[in-house]
Chains A and B, each alone.
Chain A
């Protein structure tokens, strides 16, 4: 059964008061005043919600197509009177989980932001809480809301990246103590997670460069400085991702080296066993030849002396070699 749609609205009226649950029939009244900022949050949008957005905000149906679907490459597209921005959020997970991502679509106008996504995205609630606690920054208009939401979305990646780093550190120790197959499996999973995170964070730089250009597509007033901070945060996260990628590559190399060393040791042991067996075999082979006179041929204990002596001497040499670490 598909998730039920949920629409929430909140307005900051004149930078003075916050009103929750703005009725849909009053939306235009709120949007009419440029000093008001309206936020509409649509979770699990269905055809009815999309039709409402087309009607109330005048969004192009094509702009709404594919919204709140699988994580897509973040980007920003300019339409007449609004921006369609695709962003992503990392969802909370357990220590060994893969990074789970959720697509968040933001439609930004001169005094409104509409967010669309599927399933619960805690970063949205976090962004809303940041906005409502913004105090005087709320007077900066829609820029304060964009900042609060993008900051929360970018911050949601930090725990996922920390989890990856913790796991890499753990694997780096486990490489020498655990079977290499297990480390390899975990490292390849981490590599996949890092690739997925990078795929959605790297294009965010371009999104910020559009928002922060000299003639911004939406009125940011004094909030461009805050958005620059978020943009810097994205760059720092990308740096961390690069470092983690190198750490994973290093751990992979270490795992393969350890695995190769273990193989070498096995091969050496097998080679020693082969040499020992060859010595024993050659002595026994020599005694099996049809020579006229073979030492100890006539002695009753001759066979036992040669067999025990050969095996004993070879065994002694193998034990001595192992003890003195000749191989």
Chain B
């Protein structure tokens, strides 16, 4: 069997096994609470029929897109700056290291007090969740540049701006893109928690709402499934960035 057939057959086989294990476990335990897989698919059907699934997916994607973009726009330049100017790094690094380990969920009360309960609060939480991984990787990327690149460039008489634009930034790009991929994953992870605030749309809200609605665990699992599938699609999309010529060298032993 050739590789491409295997790469489809194997995952499908695993998914089928999981499907039947799940179904069997629900049947065997005779539980009244946990849904069977087909009930989850019916639940997804119901959400589509009610016209809320598209709305909720759009709401979650909107918040993640805005929060994540803000984090990139601020985190990358800030990280590069700190990586390049040692005094700035010394000044800001302790603060970053203190803020970094705080879970975005811990920020929920603050987010409500500052931004009330409209879209800004979840966007803020998603922004925070992505900002620190991006900043820290950007710092490390500059600090880890091989000194020979910089010296060679200086021997060619590059100005500071050119040095930054033509040597440092391209050299850091592969690591930055990897960090974007990881932090987009985190941002999508956080969207559920962020939407537990009283916003009235989004996949996270769908899960909370289904809990409020009584025995609708089929919709809870439907929400989980949608989050997983969209997370997969997002990851596939951002991985395309790694294929560009400008960054390919970073992955295939170009140094």
The answer to whether A and B interact is no
- A residues neighboring B (CB under 8 Å): none
